Amino acid sequence: LLIFFLLAVAVGRAQVQQEPLAETTEGAGIAINCSHPNIKATEYIYWYRLLPGRGPTFLVNTLKESKAVVEPS
């Protein structure tokens, strides 16, 4: 299962640092990380999953520095 992740933040996208894609097998866990030098502690980072041939699906939003744990839906 190949999963692509998109990040939406309110500040300049050019400074976002993340892996462009992550790959895992169905049912296995995965860690996704992101950093941005100008994001404030009160701003959210949004993660979406993009499967080939489909539109983006919301995964999770999290505040800077938080460690979100999300179960698959």
Residue boundaries of the structural domains of the chain? 2-63
H-type helices in the chain, by residue range?
Answer: none
Q: How many residues does the chain have?
A: 73
Higher pLDDT, 59 or 8: 59
Is residue 3 scored above 50 in pLDDT? no
Q: Tell me whether strands 44-50 and 57-63 are parallel, antiparallel or unpaired.
A: antiparallel
Average pLDDT estimate for 40-64: 83
Average pLDDT estimate for 27-53: 79
- Cα torsion for 69, 72, 23, 39, to the nearest 10°? -40
Average pLDDT estimate for 42-58: 84
Whether 53 and 40 have beta carbons less than 8 Å apart is answered as no
